Amino acid sequence: MSARSIPVRSVCEHHMLPFVGTAHVGYLPGHRILGLSKLARVVEHFACHPQVQERLTKQVADWLQTQLQPKGVGVVIEAEHTCMTLRGVQATGSSTLTSTLLGTLRHDARSRAEFLSLTGLTA
């Protein structure tokens, strides 16, 4: 099961400036499953505090792994950081991409490729 383009809004804890983007979250069910809307709630839960994107990505994946004990978990977040676009290098249009893959999605190339393909990314 996967959900694409879940809105992500948080504040960078380093610069106290917002970052916004989308999360793609998926997992290969074990014995437990989660409703689709809950995937968005998990992302929102971890994004509601000042955060860094790398940690946010890992927190969502680790929570799903711990709570559901699935066969695999994949989380990809793509976001635009205003600390990059409004100050410093002013790299307008740049985005930051982070991913965490656990279990089968990390170790099995075919499963990983399928997940990344579903997110719109290439393997």
Q: Which residues are catalytic?
A: 12-15, 53, 81, 83
Rounded CA separation 79/97 (Å): 7
Comparing C-alpha atoms, which of 97, 119, 118, 25 is closest to residue 65? Answer: 25
CA distances from 22 to 9, 16, 91 (A): 8, 19, 19
Helices (H) and strands (E) in the chain, counts: 5, 4
Nearest-10 Cα torsion for 59, 74, 105, 69: 60
